[in-house]
Structure 1
């Protein structure tokens, strides 16, 4: 039984790791997209909890970890939550707490400097699709795709 559970967990982890993010690409600048994202989050009645400056951190530590690869011109991850959506999905399954807070990233890849990508991780079928719908609406609003 233990081996079956281990195999199931490995298969589930592999399936999740293989999922591609939901992304939108625009020719808008990184600054315009991050401004649009902050505005869309606020317009949805939410508050940005944290901004991870992932691109800056990776560039700052690049030499320290022995790499010469520049990944991004810029990359930030915005974390936030929605009390009403979170309550809804966690009343359906309290273990949905593992998905909170919700994140949307904005990035300009080093090899594609004229494109800004905005996106988020996909969520499982069922109650978490309410979160995916929220994030999709915010991401699309950030770049004027409403």
Structure 2
């Protein structure tokens, strides 16, 4: 897929989230909604400020956690963890892999993204190409 990735307007997404959370509550379904924001993935201008605005909107709308892939600056992580009660979840990045440091900063969940799958696929492709060559 070569579609351009865009960041949906925060208020619009918060409205959708509110509707989803309301329907879940009406159905008496207690599902943890870990809401992703791609402010760091897409490197938006003023990404820390934009992330804060989105967390505020998503908290009001019913988010149970916030996932911020590509957030790797320790000061930004600490700031967001300290500012918000919702659990802040991040993605392990090549330059950010110290799980003890994550714990120190207050991170509640760490995603490996598709890293393990990609590595396993690369190994499998390599081994299969060797089989095909023989």
Structure 1 length normalisation: TM-score?
0.21
Task: Specify which structure has the higher proportion of strand.
Answer: 1
Looking at CA atoms only, which structure, 1 or 2, has the larger radius of gyration? 2
Q: Pick 1 or 2: higher relative contact order, CA cutoff 8 A, min separation 6.
A: 1
